[in-house]
Chain A
């Protein structure tokens, strides 16, 4: 299983990353940025599908909550009604999950590649030798130049700058898609989730090589950009929390009402 993973996903990505570093003037930081952009572009159709499904699911939330209240004591009826609602809306509830699951191995391989390629210790470098192709550009590039914009990509950045940037961009990305909840319990849970992930990743930045943090930053920024263009704006980032219950209570969509774009219209069909 591990050999299959290495041979089919990890090694090709790792060698591409190293070869790219050689092409980009021996700059591993640029190689990380470039490969992250390329991989995200390749996975764009899946990301879009996931975003649209998430958006459509969010739009159905008020109706779902109504059904939950209405059939609180009849679980079977509730399930039937929910399934009916999804069918009418043309939504597959797992539609936002499987594109994410398909992308996940690629992300894992990408940042396994970054960690392996940096090979900060003799043990890591020795291990790297067993994953490299015999391409001359790979031989030339290894060991990689660890310096990028004053950072040592093989060492954790202890200045807190990268941790803040990673945490901040992650918070923005999450905030853009998290619909304000009407239920206070749900709202506090959302707020907790919104804070937990950026905090956790901010902490991880202090433990892991800065190369990995660079990947997270680039990935988050691309995620924000995709989100911005797909939902036609900053999404729920600019939604005043006080308005959320009112709008929801009116039976409308959860806030904010995004600028409809041709791409997002197609989803609801």
Chain B
């Protein structure tokens, strides 16, 4: 009887432990992609750093930081809205890819615990010197600035998408449903537009139009001048795929498992393409073809004008990362860490290489090298033409 009781308690403890601790889902880490500017790659690490990586130094295996390299932590301090580099207590998660313009790096971050967000403007020339961020006199800024956010007057939601720069303005959407236009140089708010649903996507900007989607399924076109609403398209389900504007069309995916093409002037639907699961990432448009990766494990090539499927490729796993083009090759990374190199015209698989680590971040191509930020917080440089991994660099602070 006693043994029975012990067994029962053990089973109960195991089940309770499993249910309480084993099912809370993945810990938020972020999945920032890379972007290059002046031969340096900028990327957000999973432990909350913006890291500048010199591909040349990495290929030579030099110790970090080599020339042009630095890392700046973007963390949230304990008091609401305050940020600090040195005395940080909470990790900021970086989901968006940094944007670079006029020698400045812009990045949006979110605090997964408080669901607050920040936009940082970072001056690489100051970061190299290792001075604490931000140096306001050198053009660096944080939005909302501490004197505003500390008072609790501004509720700036988590930034999951990429801040997009057009001219002298940074456009960003936040999870409390607002679209902000920030002055790129000084970091003040030029205008803001409020929607109801959460925004987890990057805006798309072309000429005088900003397009952005939200969790209420609304795709809104706003004026870049003052943020007034030009038109609104209502999809039947949430939008978590960043839109892309090409010629007279806006392309985006929705949770109703459809990829939409919307007329950029009128906001009217041109066509929609049905997939087998969500279109999670930003589609890639090249000439007459839209390449869209889908969580149904497939990558679709769709005709821009008609929405007709040209070909599809089964990657064997959900494709979370956006595809990239390297010449006439389309490179796709699946969630399991398989990188597939396809002929862009036919979808035929030229070769596949395995990173062995899941890839959720958008991959990035530059000068024939494809960079993938994998779940082990390492940046992999791969050569799609040969299928080799050129180098690997750990972005986690412990790796330097």
Residues of A within 8 A of B (CB): 79, 82, 93-94, 97, 101, 104-105, 107-108, 111-112, 115-116, 119-127, 129-130, 134, 136, 139-140, 142-143, 155, 204, 208
Q: Are B215 and A143 in contact (CB under 8 A)?
A: yes
| Chain A CB within 8 A of B28 CB | yes
B93 CB contacts on chain A under 8 angstroms: 121
User: Are the C-beta atoms of A124 and B26 separated by less than 8 Å?
Assistant: yes
Distance, CA A79 to CA B15, complexed state (A) = 30
* Least Cβ–Cβ distance between B308 and chain A, in angstroms: 22
Query: Judging by beta carbons under 8 Å apart, are B237 and A142 in contact?
Result: yes
* Cα–Cα, bound, A142→B4 (Å): 44
Contact B255 A142 (CB under 8 A): yes
Say yes or no: A123 contacts B26, CB within 8 Å: yes
Within 8 A of A (CB), among B275-305: 276-278, 280, 295
Task: State how many angstroms separate the Cβ of A237 from the closest Cβ of chain B.
Answer: 24
Does the CB pair A123–B28 fall under 8 Å?
yes
Q: How far is the CA of A140 from the CA of B238 in the complex (A)?
A: 7
| Shortest CB distance B201–A (Å) | 11
Contacts of A204 in B (CB 8 A): 20
Contact yes or no, A125 B240, CB < 8 A: yes
Which chain A residue has the least Cβ–Cβ distance from B215? A143
Determine whether B167 belongs to the interface, using a CB cutoff of 8 Å to chain A.
no
- Cβ of A108 and Cβ of B256 under 8 Å apart? no
Give B24-50 interface residues, CB cut-off 8 Å to A.
24-29, 31
The majority secondary structure among interface residues of chain B is loop
The distance in angstroms between the C-alpha atoms of A79 and B4, with both chains bound, is 14
Contact call B236/A107, Cβ cutoff below 8 A: no
Q: Which residue of A lies closest to B20 (CB)?
A: A204
Chain A residues positioned under 8 Å from B236 (CB to CB): 136, 139-140
Known contacts A93-B1, A115-B23, A126-B320; A108 and B15 CB within 8 A of each other: yes
Q: Is the CB of B29 within 8 A of A123?
A: yes
Contacts of A104 in B (CB 8 A): 12, 15
Known: A116-B23, A139-B256. A108 touches B28 (CB 8 A): no
Q: How far is the CA of A108 from the CA of B19 in the complex (A)?
A: 5
Q: Which residues of B contact A108 (CB under 8 A)?
A: 15, 18-19, 23
If A104-B15, A129-B278 touch, does A143 touch B25 (CB 8 Å cutoff)?
A: no
Residue of A nearest to B18 (CB): A108
Output the nearest chain A residue to B320 by Cβ-Cβ distance. A126
Known: A94-B4, A115-B23. 11 other contacts (CB 8 A): A79-B1, A108-B19, A111-B19, A115-B24, A122-B160, A126-B318, A129-B280, A139-B236, A139-B255, A140-B237, A140-B256
Complex: A197 Cα to B172 Cα, angstroms? 46
B118 at the interface (CB under 8 A from A): no
Docked pose: A219 CA to B263 CA in angstroms: 50
How near does chain B come to A259, taking the closest CB pair, in angstroms? 30
List the 4 shortest-distance A-B pairs measured between CB atoms, nearest first.
Answer: A108-B19, A123-B26, A121-B28, A112-B23
How far, in Å, is B18 (CB) from chain A's closest CB?
7
Most buried by B among A93, A94, A97, A123: A123
List chain B residues, Cβ under 8 A from A136: 236, 256
Q: Taking chain A's interface residues, is the majority helix, strand, or loop, or is none over half, making it mixed?
A: helix
What is the CA–CA distance of A98 and B257 in the complex, to the nearest angstrom? 43
Cα-based distance from A142 to B112 in the complex (angstroms): 19
Name 25 A/B residue pairs within 8 A (Cβ), A-sorted: A93-B1, A94-B4, A104-B12, A108-B15, A108-B18, A111-B19, A115-B23, A116-B23, A120-B112, A121-B28, A121-B93, A122-B200, A123-B27, A124-B25, A124-B26, A125-B240, A126-B280, A129-B278, A129-B318, A130-B318, A134-B276, A139-B257, A142-B255, A143-B198, A155-B115
Nearest-CB residue, chain A, relative to B30: A122
Those of B155-205 within 8 Å (CB) of chain A:
160, 198, 200
How far does the alpha carbon of A260 sit from the alpha carbon of B215 in the complex, in Å? 55
Contact B198 A101 (CB under 8 A): no
Chain B residues contacting A124 (CB-CB under 8 Å) are 25-26
A115 vs B21: C-alpha distance when bound (angstroms): 11
Closest to B19 in A: A108
Chain B: which residue is nearest A104 at the CB level?
A: B15
Contact of B28 among A115, A122, A139 (CB under 8 A): A122
- Closest residue of chain B to A83 (Cβ to Cβ) is B1
A112 to B24, CA, bound (A): 8
Evaluate whether A127 and B19 lie within 8 angstroms (CB atoms) in the complex, with A139-B256, A142-B255 already known: no
| Cβ of B136 under 8 Å from chain A | no
Inside 8 A of A139's CB, which chain B residues have their CB?
A: 236-237, 255-257
A122 to B198, CA, bound (A): 12
On chain A, the residues within 8 Å of B76 by CB distance are: none
Report how far A16 CA is from B220 CA in the complex, Å: 31
Q: How far is the CA of A206 from the CA of B26 in the complex (A)?
A: 19
CB of A126 within 8 A of CB of B19, answer: no
B62 at interface, CB cutoff 8 A: no
Cα A122 to Cα B362 with chains together (Å): 14
Residue of A nearest to B114 (CB): A155
CA distance A108 to B74 in the complex (A): 37
Contacting residues, chain B, for A105 (C-beta < 8 A): 15
Contact at B257–A134, with CB atoms within 8 Å? yes
CB nearest neighbor in A for B255: A139
**Does the CB pair B19–A112 fall under 8 Å?**
yes
